[in-house]
Structure 1
């Protein structure tokens, strides 16, 4: 199975490196100093589950240099999805399937604006990993899981092939027959984690321990559930409480990529997270006061603050 990884950051770099280390033909599409470091010193993953060093990874700066592949893993930031989808069309025309592990619930709808819907596999990932410095991916904790599946619920050959690849690479993986619901389930947690950690400027530990910030976290997630149910997703009405219980199981130091981006002055995915929930709420006449407040509070930082 030939795999291209579009975006070699925390998600793409980690899972792509595991697959390459297991012997799969993986080509990374990266850019800037990260790409330079990968070409000069290789790609290194630092992880409690065992480090990985790809001394000479296949890394290019242009999708057109990838060649024919069976599967493209999309892990770019959400604002790059339109550009990525347009660039991927030649690969899809040659038979590649596209599996996005980006954040949020907008990603596959954007991809479908440019690519045939039958080429798109739904997916979610669970991991805390970032580029700690160019060429190095730092994985925090032991959670590293991919869940994916066809939108029609079938167990296709391409899904089975990728599941086998994950097994050989030591990646925890599951095939889902209701991937849309799982994407929304993760979205509930993701919006809660990103919105609270970024607006409060603290990791999840202190937030879940303080009664007022814990209640705030629950309310943020409850708004996402209400929006999802209004959009026809079969989420239980009390699902936010389930996710709050899950928040109690993760490391106290866990935070979100949006919080990392805020601290580093980088652009944030706010418009597709709490901002996206706020927009959905306005469209559906569902109140989302907490997510709207988060979007307002972080608005001045959303485009990044680095000069």
Structure 2
């Protein structure tokens, strides 16, 4: 298959490298210091407990405009870049490409559909712990590396089975979701809870779940997200947040979130699309979201990165 990966960070770098290893024609869109290091080294290096991978630098470009045809486009940029990326993919969807966002949040596909035909946008989520350790090097931590994808209800599923098969043959744990909208929201509920608490409290999940006050904060952050999802028409179980707490108790005690990692490094946060997204969607739907609102307010000074001392 002809695959374009927009964003060669932890998510895009890992999954794109596995697909390239399997013999697919994969082109990566990267930029900045990461792209410069890849070109200087001659390859992207992916370190993983499942095996190291290298992707030759000749497969990297700076813009989707440099790619003329594709079967599937994987979007793996940070959420604030979605609008700009979507605007640059129309020539590929006009040629028949399908677009699969592996980003966080539930508003990502709404943004894509503002610029692209609805039928061209698949729904999907991924589960992986992978980061850019240094420019040119992606590190995959732990064995988990899973993609769930599917066409949204009412839209044709052309190409879904073919891409699913490509992922499986590349060694990726992949699944076609029966109700992909619900799958996207289920991940959003969990991710919002994990991100909100580990970032605001600045402690890993073991500490969060072990303290009665922060444990309840985690449950209520997720419960608010469930309420917003149900109000938007998604078939979420009303008790989904409680069920997720049982799953939380099985997580490694030292587990944290990518947003907490970004806060620690002084990077920009995806806050407006996580707890902030729950708040904005709740406001539109008339659903109270006081816990997410508090998290969003507490973290607001860090949204664009570490604030200057004299700001």
Q: Is the deviation greater in 43-52 or in 140-149?
A: 43-52
Alignment partner, residue 258 of structure 1: 259
Q: Tell me, yes or no, if the aligned pair for 1:30 and 1:61 is still in contact at 8 Å.
A: yes
Q: Tell me, yes or no, if the aligned pair for 1:128 and 1:254 is still in contact at 8 Å.
A: no
Cα-to-partner distance string for 1:70-100 (whole Å, 9 max, x where unaligned): 1100011111111011000111111111111
Cα-to-partner distance string for 1:25-44 (whole Å, 9 max, x where unaligned): 11000001101112222111
Q: Tell me, yes or no, if the aligned pair for 1:153 and 1:176 is still in contact at 8 Å.
A: no
Alignment partner, residue 283 of structure 1: 284
Offset, 1:69: 0.9
Alignment partner, residue 242 of structure 2: 241
CA distance in 2, matches of 1:17, 1:192: 30
Q: Is the deviation greater in 279-288 or in 211-220?
A: 279-288
Residue 231 of structure 1 pairs with residue 232 of structure 2:
yes
Alignment partner, residue 85 of structure 2: 84
CA distance in 2, matches of 1:205, 1:60: 41
Alignment partner, residue 10 of structure 1: 10
CA distance in 2, matches of 1:107, 1:227: 16
Q: How many residues align?
A: 307
Alignment partner, residue 190 of structure 1: 191
Alignment partner, residue 113 of structure 1: 114
Q: Is the deviation greater in 148-157 or in 201-210?
A: 148-157
Query: TM-score of the superposition, structure 1-length normalised?
Result: 0.96
Alignment partner, residue 153 of structure 2: 152
Within 5 Å, give how 1:139-178 maps onto structure 2: 139-152=140-153, 156-178=157-179
Structure 1: segments with no counterpart, 5+ residues: none
Residue 23 of structure 1 pairs with residue 16 of structure 2:
no
Relative to structure 1, is the Cα distance of residues 264 and 38 closer, same or farther in structure 2, using a 3 angstrom cutoff?
same
Q: Is the deviation greater in 274-283 or in 145-154?
A: 145-154
Offset, 1:154: 7.2
Relative to structure 1, is the Cα distance of residues 301 and 114 closer, same or farther in structure 2, using a 3 angstrom cutoff?
same
Alignment partner, residue 47 of structure 1: 48
Offset, 1:285: 2.2
Q: Tell me, yes or no, if the aligned pair for 1:223 and 1:287 is still in contact at 8 Å.
A: yes
Alignment partner, residue 293 of structure 2: 292
Offset, 1:152: 2.1
Query: TM-score of the superposition, structure 2-length normalised?
Result: 0.95
CA distance in 1, matches of 2:291, 2:49: 35
Q: Tell me, yes or no, if the aligned pair for 1:154 and 1:177 is still in contact at 8 Å.
A: no
CA distance in 2, matches of 1:119, 1:187: 22
CA distance in 1, matches of 2:58, 2:152: 32
CA distance in 2, matches of 1:296, 1:56: 42
Within 5 Å, give how 1:198-213 maps onto structure 2: 198-213=199-214
Q: Tell me, yes or no, if the aligned pair for 2:68 and 2:91 is still in contact at 8 Å.
A: no
Q: Secondary structure of 1:113's partner?
A: helix
Structure 2: segments with no counterpart, 5+ residues: none
CA distance in 2, matches of 1:8, 1:229: 34
Q: Tell me, yes or no, if the aligned pair for 2:219 and 2:241 is still in contact at 8 Å.
A: yes
Within 5 Å, give how 1:90-101 maps onto structure 2: 90-101=91-102
